[in-house]
Amino acid sequence: MHDIEEVLILDIEKEELIKQKGINIIRITNKEIKDDINKVVQKIKQKLSR
């Protein structure tokens, strides 16, 4: 369990560094892609238009 916590903390730190550089992260699961790829495409388009 300890390793999982460390990995989560490192992921959060990496995400913060990325955001500080002005880069946005879009999280998309495999399930979302399999269930409705068109919805995923719309989600990406919305994020890009901001």
User: Rounded to whole angstroms, how far apart are CA atoms 36 and 7?
Assistant: 30
Tell me what pLDDT residue 29 has.
96
First and final CA of the chain: distance in angstroms? 38
Tell me what pLDDT residue 20 has.
97
Residues in Cβ contact with 11 at an 8 Å cutoff, skipping those fewer than 6 apart = none
The whole-number average pLDDT for the span 10-32 is 95
User: Rounded to whole angstroms, how far apart are CA atoms 25 and 16?
Assistant: 10
For residue 5, give Cα distances in angstroms to 8, 10, 18, 25.
5, 9, 20, 21
The whole-number average pLDDT for the span 29-39 is 98
Give the model's confidence band at 2: pLDDT under 50 very low, under 70 low, under 90 confident, else very high.
Answer: low
For 27, the token pair is 């999280």
| pTM given for the model | 0.65
The whole-number average pLDDT for the span 32-46 is 97
